[in-house]
Structure 1
Amino acid sequence: MKINIPVKKYLPYYRRINFLLLALFIFNAAYATSKAPFPKKTKRILFLGNSITYAGKYITDIEAYFITHYQKQQFEFINLGLPSETVSGLSELNHADGKFPRPDLHERLARILAQVKPDVVFACYGMNDGIYLPFDAKRFQAFRNGIKWLHSELEKSNAKKIIYLTPPVHDDKELGTKGYNLVLDKYSEWLLSQKDSLQWEVADVHTATTQYLERARLTQTDFKLANDGVHPDDLGHWLIARAVLEYLGENVNAVPDVQAALQVHPQGKEIYNLVSQRQAIMKDAWLKATGFKRPGMAPGLPLTEAQQKYAQIEKQIRAILKR
């Protein structure tokens, strides 16, 4: 039996349906793009900062998270943190018992950008920039000038995304969060204010770590995130990583530690150990390749040799992901 469908009669409805389907497709594509952790064609992700960044555990946490949660994507996380460094160019008169002044990012940034050519840059400064002294308007201005200079240089480098991290909490031995941390409050507030005034991207590590420490102290008065008040322990690094991941849109607010975050893959711990091993090799190799003036650093492998080791570990990680 032949059925005649009056096409002309229903053509407007077909067109509406097609329009709705197209709109839905565009919406889904836009949503998927917005949920991507980094811009399209991102390969190299650079981290700049001081000893907290150089220690690098929060970077390892972030990298392992993305490997296990975004298995089809491959990013190179490059740690070029340098202990003692500032972006302000300031240093105490007797820093390191007079052995050397604090390193200044101005001295090495051009070489870093020329060699790394990063697609995404994270920068975490402030902890050293107040020189562990009470608030001073001139030091604060030096920090702001340094960050503005950094932003200008990163924009010139054509980085697709620039994200600043407010400094982690400082825990004074006597005053807790009511000592030097009050200086970091001001530095962090200024960084966060650039989100509105200049549309900068800023992940608020400072508030996350300060609030966590203060809440923990309500029930455990001797609780610490850093034994020396400055350099975070494993939990402290996870809190930094978690603040960054949350900023990037990841649902990790209730995740207590990195191991829990990696449970999405049965070999999460094994992957984490490989990432940690690789980060330890690469950070010193990159420092060696880009150059620095601070004494007392590990020598680091030649970059080409380190990159061979990087590739070997990458093969191991990819093999684990296929299990």
Structure 2
Amino acid sequence: MRTLPTTFALLLAALLPAAEGIPRIPIGDSETIVLYGDSITEQNLYAAFIENFLITRFPDKQLRIYNYGWSGDTTAGGNQRFARDVAPCKPTLVFVDYGMNDGRYAPADEQIRAGYLAAQRDLAATIKAAGAREVLITTSPIDPDRRADKDTYNEALALMADGVLALGTEFGIATADIFHPMREEQRLAKVTDPAFTLIPDSIHPDPAGHLVMAYHVLRRLDAPAGVGAITVRGKQVAAANGASVSAATVTADAISFELALACLPCAVPAAARRGLAVVPFQEELNRLALTVEGLTGSWALSVGDREVATFTAEQLGAGVDLAIIEGTPWAEAAQRVWDLGQRRWHRHFDAWRGLGMENDPMLKQHPAHLAMIQAAAAYVDALGEAMRSAAKPGTWKVSLSRSTRLALSSIELAPVLPAEADFEHRYPPETAPDAARWQRVPFTGVMDFQPVLGVNDNCVVHARLLLDADRACSLRLILGSDDGLVVTVNGVQALSKNVGRGLRPGDDSVDVPLLKGRNHLLFRVSQGVGGYGLAIDAKVLGDATVAQFAP
């Protein structure tokens, strides 16, 4: 089985240069922050993570954040357009991420490198003259497996990155190194899974790659590391790291308390969550930990009147991260901040690159054109204010109660296979499951396959759960699929639905027998065209103890 271990990010963290001892980059009470660079910046993904992290982590600061990335740009080009694009917003802090285009996609060349560093010096002088501080960021690497010249260009980029870091030391400019750790993270992941990539086109990272990029910048900032920690020990409920609790009650069958947070977590959209297995973003920067000692069985977590998750006693004893669990009000608020930020970016881009770059002299001089620019700028500012308002933390009633719902934390997926014409055809993961190449991925009940497996049509996906039962019992499966679904339990087919439909949890329900010991549940989703996914909710019928086996 090839899988990226869940401990990979933590193991890799031990290899990263310790951020402790290096001066952190301060964020003032009122800042105008610019993300500046080429198409990788223009993608507005690592930039969006930085923006959302800052807005949510500092809800009381006045932060105005702008993305002025330009596809195809170089450092020299950035210096030339600074007065036109950036200076008018009067920045106080500029994150500079150039280099990918500066190396000209050629082997290492000292003349190219020298020209790049000279341009970085010029841009640094321009930023300083504008009265702003600078953070020099090394560019992201390329994926050598997606280039004919393999790792050749990474060798050139490595020398350029070394020069950027030396430049920061020479001029006292703060730096954030993305290139070197991300290159190593990519290399280590490919040892486990040769098909692994964060950079599908070899240049532009995907959302998970941008999360990795943002992590290496955010760990350099002087910001609270995490959202909070709650510990229940006996009858005592304590909180720390930005969280506080009140009105706590603890009984044998229920725990409840009022939870107040000093800040919201940063949203991590589904398309980026694969990056959480690569870097310890949650563990180091974004965790809302809940630890409960001395429990047995399964426990349902509710916030207000809404049940949002189920955990085993073992999971709660080890500590669970509540920060980005779907359905929690803090995660929903963080997602709203993200969504508003994306809207703001699009409106800012339209105003800057559309209206602002109008070349027709007659239109530029028309009063309506100026009015449109002013209105667009006002709307961008209003969206920024809406982000800051949405980022205000709150207080919520949190409770745990005993549950018969099965707690799921992951699921195993086999590689996508072409669909056969016969719906009842049995595929290799069904006839020889132990020989299949299973990949374990996070799963809490609903999964859109596209961010994990990519866009695929006319195919089948196999998913597997391994469950341990302390006695023979029945399990009620409440399911949904896009499109068709076949469920097999311990080699016996329990459900077959040859349908074309969207993913809606609860479309199907079936009671299945479990044996004492290890049970194998196999789910085959048949995909036609468009989206595809799987939803699983499971409840134990009776007094048996059933838990997921996830080595």
Change (3 A) 1:171 1:274: same
Tell me the equivalent position of 1:127: 100
The residue type equivalent to 1:277 in the other structure is R
CA distance in 1, matches of 2:91, 2:28: 12
Q: 240, 265, 271: which is aligned to 2:337?
A: 271
Tell me the equivalent position of 1:310: 380
Please tell me whether Structure 1 or Structure 2 has the larger radius of gyration of its CA atoms: 2
CA distance in 1, matches of 2:117, 2:134: 16
Equivalent residues of 1:130, 1:183 under 8 A apart: yes
The residue type equivalent to 1:77 in the other structure is I
Deviation sequence 1:47-97 (CA, Å, 0-9, x none): 210000111111111111122211111211111110001124xxxxxxxxx
Q: 254, 273, 285: which is aligned to 2:280?
A: 254
Tell me the equivalent position of 1:280: 346
Change (3 A) 1:77 1:202: same
Question: What are the residue-to-residue correspondences of 1:67-82 with 2, within 5 Å?
Answer: 67-82=55-70
Residues 1:169 and 2:138 aligned together = no
Tell me the equivalent position of 2:315: none
CA distance in 1, matches of 2:33, 2:45: 15
Shift of 1:112: 2.6
The 3-state SS of whatever aligns with 1:180 is helix
Residues 1:39 and 2:65 aligned together = no
Change (3 A) 1:47 1:186: same
Q: Which structure 2 segments of 5+ residues have no match?
A: 1-22, 227-278, 289-322, 325-329, 360-370, 395-551
Tell me the equivalent position of 1:63: 51
Q: 179, 198, 211: which is aligned to 1:238?
A: 211
CA distance in 1, matches of 2:84, 2:147: 41
Tell me the equivalent position of 1:117: 90
Shift of 1:231: 0.4
Change (3 A) 1:284 1:124: farther
The 3-state SS of whatever aligns with 2:280 is coil
Question: What are the residue-to-residue correspondences of 1:119-268 with 2, within 5 Å?
Answer: 119-159=92-132, 161-172=133-144, 173-174=146-147, 178-250=151-223, 251=225, 254-255=280-281, 263=323, 265-266=330-331, 267-268=333-334
Equivalent residues of 1:78, 1:283 under 8 A apart: no
CA distance in 2, matches of 1:233, 1:174: 16
Deviation sequence 1:95-127 (CA, Å, 0-9, x none): xxxxxxxxx224312223431210101111110
CA distance in 2, matches of 1:40, 1:59: 20
Change (3 A) 1:135 1:289: farther
Tell me the equivalent position of 1:296: none
The residue type equivalent to 2:38 in the other structure is N
CA distance in 2, matches of 1:80, 1:318: 20
Choose between structure 1 and 2 for higher RCO, CA contacts under 8 A separated by at least 6 residues.
1
Deviates more, 1:118-127 or 1:63-72: 63-72
Tell me the equivalent position of 1:3: none
The 3-state SS of whatever aligns with 1:158 is coil
Shift of 1:308: 2.8
Tell me the equivalent position of 1:49: 37
Equivalent residues of 1:124, 1:165 under 8 A apart: yes
Deviation sequence 1:16-68 (CA, Å, 0-9, x none): xxxxxxxxxxxxxxxxxx878413532x1012100001111111111111222
Deviates more, 1:305-314 or 1:78-87: 305-314
CA distance in 2, matches of 1:127, 1:261: 32
The residue type equivalent to 2:378 in the other structure is Q
The structure in which a higher percent of residues are strand is 2
Tell me the equivalent position of 1:92: none
Equivalent residues of 1:166, 1:204 under 8 A apart: yes
The 3-state SS of whatever aligns with 2:99 is coil
Equivalent residues of 1:48, 1:80 under 8 A apart: yes
Equivalent residues of 2:340, 2:383 under 8 A apart: yes
The structure in which a higher percent of residues are helix is 1
Shift of 1:290: 6.0
CA distance in 2, matches of 1:222, 1:292: 44
Q: Provide TM-score, normalisation by structure 2.
A: 0.44
Equivalent residues of 1:204, 1:243 under 8 A apart: yes
Shift of 1:303: 3.7
CA distance in 1, matches of 2:215, 2:205: 14
CA distance in 2, matches of 1:213, 1:290: 39
Paired-residue identity, %? 24
Equivalent residues of 1:50, 1:124 under 8 A apart: yes
The 3-state SS of whatever aligns with 1:230 is coil
CA distance in 2, matches of 1:261, 1:290: 40
The 3-state SS of whatever aligns with 2:380 is helix
Shift of 1:157: 0.7
The residue type equivalent to 2:139 in the other structure is P
Q: 59, 63, 71: which is aligned to 1:83?
A: 71
Change (3 A) 1:317 1:122: closer
Shift of 1:239: 1.2
Change (3 A) 1:312 1:111: closer
CA distance in 2, matches of 1:261, 1:283: 32
The 3-state SS of whatever aligns with 1:215 is helix
CA distance in 2, matches of 1:280, 1:244: 23
CA distance in 1, matches of 2:80, 2:147: 35
